[in-house]
Amino acid sequence: AMPRAMGAGGVASAASAGERYPASISIQDIARLDGQGKSQLHGLGLVVGLDGSGDSGSERPLSIPLTKLYESNGLSLTDLKDVAKAKSVAVVWVEASTIESGAHTDDRLDVTVHAMHGATSLKDGFLVECPLTGPFATDDTLYAMASGRVSIEGSNPRSGRVRGGAQVVSTIPAPKIGSHIKLVIDDPYRGWPTARTIANEVNGTANRLDEDEAAAPIARALSETLVEVQIPPQEQADPANFLARILSTRFSPTLLDLPAQVIVNEATGSIVVTGDVEISPVVVQHRDLVVTTTLPPPVATSADPIITRDTWVGLQTTGRASERARLGDLLEAFKQLNVPVNDQIAILKQIHDSGHLHAKFITK
């Protein structure tokens, strides 16, 4: 195939700093209360209605639960061989996560299912009602019941999702609040700058509430992940209002001094870029694609057209050594050339592995 080529230097520049960041964010946007993380529920289930892509009924991991399913619905089978020809059923691992603040009776949770044996696809299958218990082997409490139509959202047909497929039957409470709390910083924001900023903002809010700018600080950064907050004695009996004011404290996200990041998800085919990510001069070979970024962009003329006839992806700058191409320009070039997302991710990973992509590269 003929190589595709494009100079990305003419793509519109990235948004200004004021457009990249919201005016303010709140503490609860980037942190949660310790102990209020998601709870993982799980169980074993059966997906039925598959178009010949299920497990083999001649194997015991399917024949035993399938026979029990028949028996629980009034049809007694005398021999496991009675289901030996089954091909439309798969044994699956079922998981559901609660929200950070716990879960209450009749809440609905999304469910993920994963084939455990020989099933090749769960497409268009239906998860038969199955019980979900807690994450620990010693906890056999029935927390939810899961069932529903399975949809395939990624590139792996052996894993799927049931939207709102689990109904909570036992409340999963959030932990009680004592004399202090710990704020757990969310993964993308973890670092000393963020912990310091949160502690400073909490102390500032507390001082304004007490109308005492010289009051002793109630918050301190314990690590890159944790910030401890002492609840004032007068608030401990009913801390709801105090916690609401602390968690809703707003500040400029520029105070976090976050590193640039490139976050890719191969399953969903998404690429997220934070900040102005730059690329140093580098050449990457990838199939028949040719992309060249230059600073400043070259100008084609009839006497000197821009023609590329090799199988290399070139990312380079022609100005000062300190100049770098912007990742946004490269992604715009990918878009105009209709480059598949998986190819885009592969190229970005190669550039990062070579040390020329100046950002954290995170694969989901």
State the pLDDT at residue 149: 97
The verdict on 356 and 244 lying in the same domain is no
> Can you give the pLDDT at residue 192?
92
Q: Are residues 160 and 277 in the same domain?
A: no
Residues 58 and 83 in one domain: yes
- Is there a single domain that holds both residue 262 and residue 315? yes
Question: Hey, what's the torsion of the CAs at 144, 150, 152, 157, to 10 degrees?
Answer: 100
Give me the average pLDDT of each 10-residue run along the chain (364 residues): 38 36 80 82 95 92 91 86 90 88 88 95 96 81 95 93 95 80 90 93 84 77 96 89 92 84 86 82 69 53 49 44 67 79 88 86 86
> Do residue 159 and residue 66 come from a single domain?
yes
- Digit-coded pLDDT (tens) for 261-304: 888 988 888 888 877 788 877 776 667 665 555 545 555 555 55
The CATH number given to whatever domain includes residue 182 is 3.30.70
* Domain limit, last residue, from 226, 251, 276: 251
CA distance 47 to 66: 10
What range defines the domain where residue 31 resides? 25-35+177-251
Residues 66 and 128 in one domain: yes
Residues 182 and 142 in one domain: no
Residue-level pLDDT at 100: 67
Q: Last residue of some domain: 205, 224, 251?
A: 251
Are residue 210 and residue 266 in the same domain, yes or no? no
Q: What is the pLDDT of residue 301?
A: 58
Note the Cα 160 to chain centre separation in Å: 16
Contact present, 120 and 134 (Cβ < 8 Å): no
- How many other C-beta atoms are found inside a 10 Å radius of the C-beta of residue 225? 19
Q: How many domains does the chain have?
A: 3
State the Cα–Cα distance between residues 50 and 157, nearest whole angstrom: 12
What is the DSSP code (8-state) at residue 305? -
Q: Which pLDDT belongs to residue 221?
A: 96
Q: Are residues 221 and 308 in the same domain?
A: no
Give the pLDDT score at 298. Answer: 54
Residues 142 and 122 in one domain: yes
Q: Regarding beta strands 261-265 and 360-363, do their DSSP bridges make them parallel or antiparallel, or are they unpaired?
A: parallel
Q: For position 227, what pLDDT does the model report?
A: 97
* Angstrom distance (rounded) from CA 190 to CA 225: 6
pLDDT of residue 169: 94
Q: 338's torsion region: left (phi>0), alpha (psi -120 to 50) or beta?
A: left
Strands across the sheet with 4-7, in order? Answer: 4-7, 289-293, 313-315, 282-284
Biggest CA-to-CA distance, the chain: 86
Which residues touch 209 (CB under 8 Å, ≥6 apart)? 242, 245
pLDDT-above-90 percentage for the chain: 39
CB atoms within 10 A of CB 132: 26
Same domain? 201 vs 281: no
pLDDT (0 to 100) of residue 15: 38
Question: Would you state the pLDDT for residue 319?
Answer: 45
Last residue in a domain, options 251, 278, 313: 251
Asked if 184 and 302 sit in the same domain, the reply is: no
